[in-house]
Structure 1
Amino acid sequence: MRRLWGMSTGRFGLIVVAVVVATAAVSLVWTPFDPQQVEISNRWAPPGWPHLLGTDASGRDILSLLMAGARTTVLVAVGSGVVATILGVALAALGALTARWLRESVAVLVDILIAFPVLVIAMMISAVWGGSLGVVIWSVGIGFGVNIARVTRPELRRVLHSDFVLAGRASGLTPAQNLVRHLLPNVAPVFIVQLSWSMAVAVLAEAGLSYLGFGAPVTEPSWGLLLAELQQFITVHPLSVVWPGLAITLTVLGLNLLGDALREATDPTLSRSPFATRRARLHIPEVVS
């Protein structure tokens, strides 16, 4: 954590993600106004007191809608991340640690699944089963789980032939024990980057699907739904569209930067030694013999 906080990208990512999660948690018990409260007489109120970000065409408080929409964002990001993690690790392990025929079958399956765009799959499933957060979480999680498996599998194969893995196998460790104790920790940096990227794109996917009407139902607060509703009035009230767009942009940027900082903080080959850090701070030049 000290190394992560010491990087500007890590600090920014941590702060943004913490603010979004805290906002989602607070909105469970309190929002300035009822997010679904309609007041036609108070429509398009400018930013100020008591509506700090103004109101929309129905008189609903935009700040309350953003706070409630953060719950949907966190739920989709975490839910799709869990699905992608389970599926990605399972496929990567099957593609790296099993018999040759099974490894090749998994590789072909991953190549086939990765050819289908995630958003297209989500839209097809939503058209059949109806738009819901569950459909978004599962479709996005499965789509990015395949991406995680494709990137993680070669790293597992590379680490599989390391001396410490062979020593663990000789000492009697089962393939599952070797996977948990030696293989996964050594591919964690690559896995973390892919997972954070998947969660960031999941936020964009949910917003995009909700914007198109294939994501969260209209009764569920969502940044994508709010953006779609306010975008119709962008020429008359352009400032109102800024708030949901800014929330989506900052969240995606924070997740990406946090993942990049986590990769650098957890990868020993990218971290500088204490002597190198002290030498850089003191501006001591290296001596080349």
Structure 2
Amino acid sequence: MKRFLTPQGVIGFTLIVLIVGIGIFAPLVIPADMATKMKMTMRLKPPSIGYPFGTDQLGRDIFFRVLLGAHTSLGIAGAAVAISVLIGLPLGIISGYARGAVDNVLMRIVDTLLSFPALLLALTISAMLGPSIPNTIIAIGIAFTPFLARIIRGEALRVSAMPYVEAARAAGTNDAAMIWRHILPNVLPLVIVQATISLAFAILAEAGLSFLGLGTQPPNSSWGLMIQASRDYLDVAPWTALAPGAAVALTVLALNMFGDVLRDVLDPRAS
């Protein structure tokens, strides 16, 4: 618990709670038209009291778009990581526990996917499926699955070689019970840590896909889409990219900070 109370842990956790709270409650308290309402007479206005983050090229309030964009960006990242866990967790555990031919076949598939950079793989899948929020979630989830599966497989190999696991096997415990009672509980802490860190990369991946036009599509609002829309106005209205860019950077920083602390707490090999 003391490790959570370090400055890094407190700052990271506080920022995550704040950002996630905005992502959850912003759509409930902010009318949807606040982010989509266009006022051409107010286009590209700099930050002011009335518009804290300024306005974009269509006169829309960037402050409200950033708040509502948190819901989309965090939702996509969270769902994508959930998919990678649902696929990568059983894949890694079965591979690490079964070993032999099963391990060789599964890991060759994982190695093939790992040969592609995650963002490039997500970009390819998204281009094949078409640009939409569900397809973006699927693309990012599949792209991050091999990383998670490889890490879980290594931990499953380590746990399955422990003396108490060997003793349970000698006592006649079947494979399903062995995985459920002994392997899975010891692998879960690593999964939690890796999922937290993967969230940061998933947010960057969503922003990258949206920037390239293969992620979130208008009229939905996401941080990556806002950055993409602002690229033609950076010389005259840099604030249009600064606010969503800062939101992405702050969220990734918070997740990485908290993930490092979480790893120190949950990693059984941590000192």
Higher fraction of helix: 2
Residue 132 of structure 2 aligns with which residue?
132
Q: Across the two proteins, how many residue pairs are aligned to each other?
A: 270
Query: 2 CA distance for matches of 1:6 and 1:174?
Result: 42
Gap runs ≥5 in structure 2: none
Residue 168 of structure 2 aligns with which residue?
168
Q: Which structure would you say has the larger Rg?
A: 1
Cα offset, 1:8, TM superposition: 2.0
CA shift digits 1:200-257 (9 cap, x unpaired): 1110010011011011112211101111112221111223321111100011111111
Letter in 2 for 1:97: Y
Structure 1 segment 1-150 matched on structure 2, within 5 A: 2-31=1-30, 34-98=34-98, 100-150=100-150
Taking only aligned residues, the RMSD between alpha carbons, in angstroms, comes to 1.9
Cα 1:156–1:248 shift into 2, 3 Å? same
CA contact under 8 A between 1:85 and 1:195: conserved in structure 2? yes
Question: TM-score scaled by structure 2?
Answer: 0.92
2:262 counterpart of 1:252: no
Query: 2 CA distance for matches of 1:103 and 1:123?
Result: 28
Residue 275 of structure 1 aligns with which residue?
none
Cα offset, 1:73, TM superposition: 1.5
CA contact under 8 A between 2:26 and 2:67: conserved in structure 1? yes
CA contact under 8 A between 2:92 and 2:152: conserved in structure 1? yes
Cα 1:184–1:263 shift into 2, 3 Å? farther
2:201 counterpart of 1:201: yes
CA shift digits 1:134-184 (9 cap, x unpaired): 112112111211111112212211211111212333445432332233223
Moved more, 17-26 or 93-102: 93-102
Cα offset, 1:197, TM superposition: 2.4
Say which structure, 1 or 2, has more relative contact order (CA 8 Å, 6+ apart).
Answer: 2
Query: 1 CA distance for matches of 2:99 and 2:55?
Result: 60
Q: Give the 3-state SS of the residue equivalent to 1:34 in structure 2.
A: helix
Q: Give the 3-state SS of the residue equivalent to 1:103 in structure 2.
A: helix
2:271 counterpart of 1:263: no
Cα 1:181–1:195 shift into 2, 3 Å? same
